[in-house]
Amino acid sequence: MRNLDEASITQAVLARNSGTTDARLCEIMTSLVQHLHAFARDTKLTEQEWQRGMDFLAQAGQLSSADRQEFVLLSHTLGLSTLVLAQNHKSPKGCTEPTTFDVSQAQNARIFDLGADISAGLAGPKCHVRGVIHDAKGNVIPGATLQICTAGGSGADDCNPALIQANQAGEYHFWTVAPDCQPILDDGPVGQMLTLLNRHAWRPAHLQFTISAPDYQRLTTQVFREGDPYLDSDAVFGVRSSLIAEWITREPGQAPDGTLSRESFQTLAFDFVLTKR
């Protein structure tokens, strides 16, 4: 095809792509090309703006590694991750809502006994977390595996995955550091984008759980702290009302597990409801 212009280029690309035998790929690429070309037309995109966009994507690619996924962060901060998750994981009534993609870190997780302190030296006030895992009918789910990700109380954007197993009554409990609000990694192109959009990079305090049990759908979700200043402006749009819970500050004394604490501590009680496969 020759002498293509702004009126004919879209159909030319679609025709070139139509040779694929993968029907779903053809559907996705057709929609992608149509929307991208429509975006360029609607905004009257300039060469300088296009080049700046290409530079942005190149910087995101250069910064990405096994430990940092800048493109995933871009998807989160644009709300695309939440949209895809909501489209594909519609929880039945009464079941715990997922809030993030299931990116397992089990290979890096440390295994702890039920009731252990999983904080592994992270700084901050201690918190006792407990609850029950059951199904939508109230039947307890024995022996579920919980992977917990605790970010440091200092606000650092790190994660220390730990594995524990609920008991035969579906109960789980452990000690960790009380979470605090913290920023996403904002020293790259995504952070620059947020600054230009006059947006902050902060997430509300939360604990992340991935829970699995035979015959039930694997659940990856986050439990947020009531009263956090960023609940209504989470940088990655992850907050759900059903996942906001109260962290209660306790005076020194007996903890829910019967141990004695010489310092004040916090408690969180939260039950999870899994969905049948």
Q: What is the pLDDT of residues 213-235, one digit of tens each?
A: 999 999 999 999 999 999 999 99
CA distance 35 to 87: 19
Q: Bridge-partner residues for 165, per DSSP?
A: 145
pLDDT band at 260 (very low <50, low <70, confident <90, very high): very high
Residue that is written with structure tokens 């230009």 in the block: 196
| Residue 91, pLDDT score | 80
The total of other beta-carbon atoms located within 10 Å of residue 65's CB is: 8
Q: What is the pLDDT of residues 54-90, one digit of tens each?
A: 999 999 999 999 888 999 999 999 999 999 999 988 8
The confidence score (pLDDT) of residue 127 equals: 96
| Mean of pLDDT values over 170-176 | 97
Reduced to 3 states, what is the DSSP secondary structure of residue 271?
coil
Residue in this structure with the two tokens 């909501």, named with its chain if needed: 86
Q: pLDDT of 4-34, one tens digit each?
A: 999 999 999 999 999 999 999 999 999 999 9
Asked if residues 275 and 219 have their Cβ atoms less than 8 Å apart, the reply is yes
Torsion angle, CA of 235/183/105/62, rounded to 10 degrees? 90
DSSP state of 145: E
Give the residue with greater pLDDT, 222 vs 105: 222
pLDDT value, residue 104: 58
User: What pLDDT does residue 105 have?
Assistant: 58
Classify residue 96 as exposed, middle or buried by CB count within 10 Å of its CB (0-12, 13-18, 19+). Answer: buried
Confidence grade of residue 152 (pLDDT, cut at 50, 70, 90) = very low
How many Å apart are CA 86 and CA 88, to the nearest integer?
6
- At residue 107, the pLDDT reads 66
* pLDDT class of 106 with cuts at 50, 70, 90: low
Q: For the whole model, what pTM was predicted?
A: 0.90
Instruction: Look at residue 1 and tell me whether its pLDDT is greater than 80.
Output: no
Average pLDDT, the chain: 92
Specify the pLDDT at position 156: 38
In the block, tokens 């429509």 appear at 38
What is the Cα–Cα distance from 202 to 253, expressed in whole angstroms? 34
